[in-house]
Structure 1
Amino acid sequence: MSASPRPVTTHPRLPARRGGGAGTWWSKAVLRAVEEAAFSVADLRRGRTLARAGAVGSITVSEGGALAAVTDGQDAWTVEVTVPVLDDGDAAAFVELVAAESGRIGALLAGQLPHSLVEAVEEAGVELLPYGGELGSACTCDAWLDPCSHALAVLTQLAWLIQADPFVLTHLRGLSRDRVLRDLHALTSPRAPDPGSPGDQPALDDEVLDDLVVAEDAAVRAARLLGQERPFDAW
């Protein structure tokens, strides 16, 4: 039996923009990781310039990486970046921590990454926000070192995508939006008591279940709007 294909999400080309914007605390954390990954200030500045100029094409995000084309002058290069995915234990811990506090899944679907969630995730030993050494890359250009300026441009735009939608970050870590919702549903769904096990089953948290219902409805609405709106046009 063949394995199920990995979920992928393609984000449309971002328009040119002036400056990097104020950003959010989590997108700034990702941008710091990009800075740590760069081998030279010149490459980092060139990468930022390409990102702001809209030289990065559509970005396809999958579990553990992203793929995009970058136009530089008369040439176009293909860039692949990689981020380590969470193992099964860390992925399960992340979902449990999202479900542990009312409102967290709603915040994620609203484009927010609660600081309390990231703190709880880190205390559990789960790496969600990347650091520079975790960011791998490969480019079809002839640069000697990776990340080259083209890879840094893609990583910079990934930080901007994560700013608007933290599920881009979880997807890179191996947890797509659909998987998070599916695992939350499995975690919070009422289960029939097992006659063979002693004691009562833990009661279902009604607030978590209500949040999940709202979250699933929001996800459906967002999916309908994705093809109609481009939120980055206003940036």
Structure 2
Amino acid sequence: MTVQPGRGGPGRGEPGRVTHGRLVAPRTGIRSWWGKAWQRAVEEAAYVDHDLRAGRTIARRGEVGGISIAAGSLLAAVREGDDAWTVEVKVPVLAEEERRTLIEVVAAEAGRIAALLAGDLPYDLVEHAEEAGVELLPYGGELAAGCTCDTYLDPCRHALAVLIQTGWLVDADPLVLFAVRGLDRESLLAELHERSAGGGGAPRPSGVTDLADDVEVAADAVLRARRLVELMEAGAGLPDGLV
């Protein structure tokens, strides 16, 4: 993998950067296997247990601002007492060949994209990706952080808080993990759609028709959801055909 961190902050219009609002700790904790894998990586990254415990406390208190995610970059402000710090975490993104391989793995079995959009990360998808040389889930040594505080440890308690809350996002939506690795939701859908539509009039191999159907349904769902959010934010009524 290559490290290509996003440098723009929230609201700067950087392509692919998405800012998630302030988070509340999930009542049931981390439930998914991939969310737990992310949290294990955070634990591996921590140098001392004291900082890890402090990071958990900061995260659970809701003292992390909106987390802005772009390819290879997590950016957030963290409040602690009367002070506020800026944290940026860098995560290696997929190289172009790895990106193409991951798309092939997703496309290899009908239903995988639908599962991802439904908030599920099939275990066999990750296994097949690893067998093909693509590491989707990070390990502790890959999580490099910078913070404006004066702590010399990397990651500090503020960066750990950001990583812990990012784990909540990953737990709820595995495509956040894809976005961190450099393949956001819209790019994944677009490349799968292009793949399924390729070949002109030639007969499609077995399974490709199912993939095309999955991608069409997924793309339509994304467009509908985006339109619903726009209407709700504008305070407009919701058309019957859109829900």
Q: CA deviation at 1:23?
A: 1.9
Q: How does 1:139-150 map to 2 (within 5 A)?
A: 139-150=147-158
Structure 2 equivalent of residue 206 of structure 1: 209
Query: After superposition, what is the alpha-carbon deviation per residue over 1:146-205, rounded to whole angstroms, capped at 9, x for unaligned?
Result: 100000000000010001111111111010111101110111114226xxxxxx765372
Give distance in 2, aligned partners of 1:22 and 1:5: 30
Structure 1 equivalent of residue 187 of structure 2: 179
Structure 2 equivalent of residue 14 of structure 1: 23
Give distance in 2, aligned partners of 1:84 and 1:115: 21
Structure 1 equivalent of residue 6 of structure 2: none
Structure 2 equivalent of residue 80 of structure 1: 88
SS at match of 2:64: coil
Are 2:30 and 2:171, in contact at CA under 8 Å, matched by a contact in 1? no
Question: Which sections of structure 2, spanning at least 5 residues, go unmatched?
Answer: 1-12, 234-243
Cα gap change, 1:17/1:107 in structure 2, threshold over 3 Å: closer, same or farther?
A: closer
Is residue 47 from structure 1 mapped to residue 55 from structure 2 by the alignment? Answer: yes
Give distance in 2, aligned partners of 1:29 and 1:226: 31
Are 2:30 and 2:168, in contact at CA under 8 Å, matched by a contact in 1? no
Moved over 3 A (4+): 200-204, 224-229
Cα gap change, 1:16/1:188 in structure 2, threshold over 3 Å: closer, same or farther?
A: closer
Match of 1:122 among 130, 142, 150: 130
Question: Which sections of structure 1, spanning at least 5 residues, go unmatched?
Answer: 194-199, 230-235
Match of 2:105 among 76, 81, 97: 97
SS at match of 1:181: helix
Q: How does 1:28-47 map to 2 (within 5 A)?
A: 28-47=36-55
Give the share of equivalent positions with the same residue, in percent: 54
Are 2:110 and 2:214, in contact at CA under 8 Å, matched by a contact in 1? yes
Q: CA deviation at 1:226?
A: 5.0
TM-score (norm 2): 0.85
Are 1:16 and 1:52, in contact at CA under 8 Å, matched by a contact in 2? yes
Give distance in 2, aligned partners of 1:111 and 1:28: 15
SS at match of 2:221: helix
Give distance in 2, aligned partners of 1:5 and 1:213: 27
Are 1:70 and 1:150, in contact at CA under 8 Å, matched by a contact in 2? yes
Give distance in 1, aligned partners of 2:196 and 2:96: 18
The size of the alignment, in residue pairs, is 219
Cα gap change, 1:225/1:161 in structure 2, threshold over 3 Å: closer, same or farther?
A: farther
Q: CA deviation at 1:6?
A: 3.2
Cα gap change, 1:35/1:225 in structure 2, threshold over 3 Å: closer, same or farther?
A: farther
Is residue 64 from structure 1 mapped to residue 72 from structure 2 by the alignment? Answer: yes
Is residue 189 from structure 1 mapped to residue 189 from structure 2 by the alignment? Answer: no
SS at match of 2:176: helix
SS at match of 1:113: coil
Q: CA deviation at 1:22?
A: 4.2
Is residue 216 from structure 1 mapped to residue 225 from structure 2 by the alignment? Answer: no
Query: After superposition, what is the alpha-carbon deviation per residue over 1:31-83, rounded to whole angstroms, capped at 9, x for unaligned?
Result: 00000000000000000000011000001000111100000011000000010
Letter in 2 for 1:14: L
Q: CA deviation at 1:142?
A: 0.4
Give distance in 2, aligned partners of 1:69 and 1:32: 23
